[in-house]
Structure 1
Amino acid sequence: MIKDQGGGGSGTPRFRRRKQSNEIPSELTKPNGGNLLVNDNNKYKSMWIRTYSTLWMIGGFVFIIYMGHLYICAMVVVIQILMAKELFNLLRKVREDRHLPGFRLLNWHFFFTAMLFVYGRFLSQRLVNTVNSDKVLYKLVSSLIKYHMVVCYFLYIAGFMWFILSLKKKMYKYQFGQYAWTHMILIVVFAQSSFTVANIFEGMFWFLLPASLIVINDIAAYLFGFFFGRTPLIKLSPKKTWEGFIGASVATIISAFVLANVMGRFEWLTCPRTDLSTGWLHCDPGIMFKPEFYDFPIWISSWFPWKGISIMPVQWHALCLGLFSSIIAPFGGFFASGFKRAFKIKDFGDSIPGHGGITDRMDCQMVMAVFAYIYHQSFVRTQSFSVETIVDQILMNLTFEEQLEIYRRVGEILQERRFSLS
């Protein structure tokens, strides 16, 4: 009981009753069993705005997928720049920035240096494959790749010296805070999302399937939580419910198995891209994408007209991706929720109606991209190099005399083996 100090002049104290923690809110006695979302007009309005934005994003995404690998990479770069902009602005203080001209430019200097380093590592071999028909351009690109790490290192050192020289008295704390914040963005955001580009060139399948599973999980969790959610899942994200989490997990795992079969039928999605061209791809899909027939037991085939089922080996791997995207990847969203609570903000931005900012949509995608890359390299890719890769490395890094020496030595080894076998 709390005494109300604002009496109406009668001199008689008024009391208002505080609701005890064990009381049941009146809303929970509604016929819908306590689900406040389905009867909330604002929630319905929010759902339709969110749905409209989602359909536009999916449509644009499908169009970019059709355009090809380079356009998808360009989309990833744009997303990374927008995410960096949102996060740079999160700790920005306009009053301090007025006394630090050019300090914002320093943040972007570190960002684009990191972009040059990471994408240079991922795309160097494909760039060589693209220009190998032009000798002059080939030599220029080979030289740039050879000194790629040196260039990136000195660009970073230049930024480091720029930062030291820009330090101003009474601004040290803010400047060092911005310096640390910039590097956290590069490590937590940029480095993780850059694995997406590596997945794209390993085969669009390994980019599109993980990204689609995150979208499916997000939509399913929202719908299951909207209509059936009653039990809170985690305090960091009050709108998340156990019903939404479990329902989305089941839907995502089933979708992973089905989508892998559908996507695995298209060479455009399964073939790796070995250069930076935009033409259509044709290749041997490999054993992962060749269906295997499994016979049903007699007691099943006697009840149904089907004698068996055709399953691609990659579908079993897709189950692992589905399991991760439904159980582990959501923790990227929980991390983002905790982050926003720490800074007392609702969203990272407002660029996507009903969704918030770009960062709000990419939190789980970053976690998923790293896992998809590591999983592919560890359990799917059969070899870490090919004959073409070895030959390209020889041509790129060795002089003509060294190449002739390798040719001579390999010929001698093969000749010795031929005599020994005979």
Structure 2
Amino acid sequence: MTPSPLLFISNGTAEDLIGARLAGLLDHKIRYSPLVGEGLPYAKLGNANRVGRVLSLPSGGFPFGSLENLKADLGTGLIGNSIGQWSDATRGARGAGAVVVVGDAYALMVGTVAARLNKRPLIHVQPLLSAQYLDGLGVRGALRELNALGANLPMPYELRLARGADAVFVRDAATQRYYQQRGVPARFTGSFAMDVLPAPERELDLSENRPVLALLPGSREDHRESLPVMLRAAALLPEVTPLVAWPHDWEAVTLPQGWTLNIQNDAEALAVGDGAGIPLLRGAFGAVARAADLAIGTSGTANEQLAGLGIPVIAFATRGPQYTEGFARRQGRLLGAALQVVEGNPAALAAQVRAVLDDRSRRGQAALAGLTRIGLAGALPLIAAEIERLAENKKNT
């Protein structure tokens, strides 16, 4: 008998990636409802069909990252299209074996309605919240980050919704304890971020015996501000081999004034300026991540993945939409000694790179913090087995 299709609901770039990787482990046809963007990782599966409309937001899915983000998203029809997505997801859950939510409290609300109206099992994969965001936050810190309150800790309504799910999976052991103390039987089975870290895609030319500095401008529009700063910082560091893990088309590259981009092929280009030539590599994030000795990043998941590999990460805030001052502070609490946030100018970044490379003890502390706070891979196969079990039980009832 053909297994029933499964509905995946996710709301963000990393969430789509995790959801698609999880869906690929399941022997089911997949329906997917991406609440932000097009859900491109699902489309690559071959057995997946999108349910409902596409909502492309200027903020990239961070409407509450700043007032400017919210205004821009509202101007593109955020409210009307979001309401429409609820009915899309509910329709997509009809006849599904289970509803799988990969995302935050909002995605869980949509998934809860879709699952309950269709009497389907509900699985929540929460890759965003971490109890470690509360480390050293305090009352003053919480007041300063009121716009991110629901991102720092689960709100009472999210815990109530999670108690109604058939299975809940969280990103680390500290969060499992936090949820369980509040009556949610959540499980930590491994790191989602490390599960979706790709294997090295190709061999890199690293013949020169110098530390490798990974530059991670990220998949959000922050790269237009952060990449030029990273390039100028790397040009001040002739003692390292800088490599940019570039996730966009070459047309999206923003260079410092006076620099040029020499495109060699679809996978590699060279940014030239200030006496330096710095490679930009497309489709090579896994290779760059594993070659790195140190990283400069303005990325969410990529920064966490490098930290999870034991690699120290240096970060600086941008004007957004994602890697704002508040986001940088939050990621600093999450990663502890694995992340150092400094002033966003080339000289400060170069000085920090040298300070980390010259201090073996500091590198050791960063590695330990990243490995313990992010955790090991292995979550998604266990979650896939639980989804199969719940879907099969529903079919037999």
- In the superposition, the TM-score normalised over structure 2's length comes to 0.21
**Bigger radius of gyration among the two:** 1
More strand by share: 2
Taking CA–CA contacts closer than 8 Å with sequence separation of 6 or more, which of the two structures ends up with the larger relative contact order? Answer: 1
